[in-house]
Chains A and B, each alone.
Chain A
């Protein structure tokens, strides 16, 4: 049985820049050789983490089949998503759901909330009657912690951001998906509601066995919800594995820098005082053009070898690091990050 969704060495290169005023055409590698498979029978909760420009949304869009990869392929049950026929397409759209960042943008302000919930039922023929449809809707709303009587019949502007985001989750749930790809689902929501929404996602994974790909720049929420994490840097995976291990004991020099940079909510822990190296500070978030390790320019441990792209070294059972510092560890065969991931405890 092929996996539910599989990315095989996907790549995305954006061309652009400069043409209007006659400058050079630039190439941005938003995603370089990314492989991951999601198995429907063994649910996983995986974070794809990275800073702006690291390519995390590009990966999400390719996995959702809304963006064509420049190389490699995305397979749904073994079939390239670009070649899916009508019914395959329909099943793909039902099994793999998306939750987007902005709960304000996904609604048509002229339709009541009911519309966004009845549409999928109608389109996918999920209910035989109107009564059954409403029962399903009410059940989905309750699952995400909303009271149907306070939600249905209202317009989007009458609801808060947190409520709207939970309705998008309820809508995804209606379709009984096997995988939900959530792109920064809580970054527009206030801290007080963030926990409620993340708890909702976590329940869907734990109790309903839905796999998640959680895309974020926020490692603290990633640590809270996910079992596995992929750290991206400039389109390439720096480190991947169990969230516990990667965050508590980062091995890739970039992951280390990233985690040290997070301001922890403990006053006086030295984050602001500690002098960080003042080298070329202004070039930190500049574009990187290299065929080797994209972090090498900034890396305190860079070697000559880093001019070549490092493979994944499997430093332990649940971790792969793309860095030559670990070249004594075995190379991860086939590049599929799923190999080092942990599945839901049974």
Chain B
């Protein structure tokens, strides 16, 4: 894939990100020492089961973590040196939408129910305009129509209220809002999980088209492996708040290296296998009482003794493929996949 070879410029560099939640029973490390580099113009898929920290990670990037959660450590640096995790309230407000935008999961809960769709978008345009450069109403309207055209909505939708829109139209309106200020990074949190598959495909194609037009980076978060296979160029797998494997989408699906990824890939149902069921043994971990060593070792069929005590680090095992597994730290023990 072109993005993975040749000149890739870094857009966002996440180093040592830690997001903790304080509970009565102790601290839960929802995002645990995550290092991740996103390149300009790429589509990156972040996969994990519920509770793996994938949504927390993107909320932290926009600084939308609410108490009892807090960003405990780390940095997330944009290409111009801005560290998203260190900005103050006003600074992060200026970054939102203009540089980093989000397409939410539940589009129905993300629009103001008592405001016309067009007015909501015009508000966005005004709120985020540079000081003293607020465009006049006519220009704002023109901009909204232009945005609607790009996401596949008719201009008449501007006069409608959210409840008059179908689920797919609402998600399109949210995408229009997200791209309204030409961001370089679009964070999409399961944007189609509430939609029907036919509509899902259209929305994802629209998102893909816009990503191309804007040359933006899309970080797609979700657990639908089919969607990831089709949309993402690179995929990262999270387990218990940690990134356990990162690689090009073909490698993740055809040659996964981490035992968790291997089980995850083999558990995807498809139209080839009937009456056969493969899952991942054991139960998910508790963030309040995580196992020592590798977080996955209690469920891992390939675990060795050292996995109980030694915490693996994310290391490059092949070109562009990073894996956090002790089996890969000792080259001679590399598991057959």
- List residues of A whose CB falls within 8 A of some B CB: 51-52, 160, 162-163, 190-196, 198-199, 202, 217, 220-221, 223-225, 244, 247-248, 257-258, 261-269, 271-273, 275-276, 278, 281-286
Contact = CB atoms under 8 A, between A and B. Distances in A.
Given A190-B49, A196-B279, 20 more contacts: A51-B198, A190-B50, A199-B279, A217-B196, A224-B273, A224-B275, A247-B271, A257-B198, A264-B226, A265-B226, A265-B229, A266-B253, A267-B229, A267-B249, A267-B254, A272-B204, A273-B208, A282-B152, A284-B168, A286-B166
A282 B169 contact: yes
Given A224-B273, A268-B250, A285 B199 contact: yes
A265 B272 CA distance: 11
A261 B269 contact: no
A107 to B, nearest CB: 17
B268 A265 contact: yes
Nearest to B51: A190
Contact of A160 (B225, B270, B284): B284
Contacts of B225: 191, 265
A178 B132 CA distance: 72
Contacts of B157: 282
Chain B: number of interface residues, binned into ranges: 35 or more
B37 interface: no
B200 A192 contact: no
A264 B230 contact: yes
A294 to B, nearest CB: 14
B100 to A, nearest CB: 23
B253 A267 contact: yes
Nearest to B268: A265
14 contacts: A51-B197, A190-B284, A191-B223, A192-B267, A192-B279, A223-B271, A257-B198, A261-B198, A262-B197, A263-B226, A267-B250, A267-B254, A282-B153, A282-B172
Contacts of B279: 192-196, 199
A238 B168 CA distance: 23
Contact of A267 (B166, B198, B230, B278): B230
B202 interface: yes
Contacts of B166: 282-286
B304 interface: no
Contacts of A244: 274
B280 A266 contact: no
A51 B196 contact: yes
Given A190-B50, A261-B201, A285 B284 contact: no
B270 A264 contact: yes
A268 B248 CA distance: 12
A285 B170 CA distance: 11
B268 A191 contact: yes
A254 to B, nearest CB: 9
A276 B271 contact: no
Nearest to A206: B275
B280 A265 contact: no
A52 B192 CA distance: 13
Interface string B164-188: 0011110010000000000000000
Given A264-B230, A268-B250, A191 B264 contact: yes
A275 B254 CA distance: 26
B227 interface: yes
Contacts of B59: none
B319 interface: no
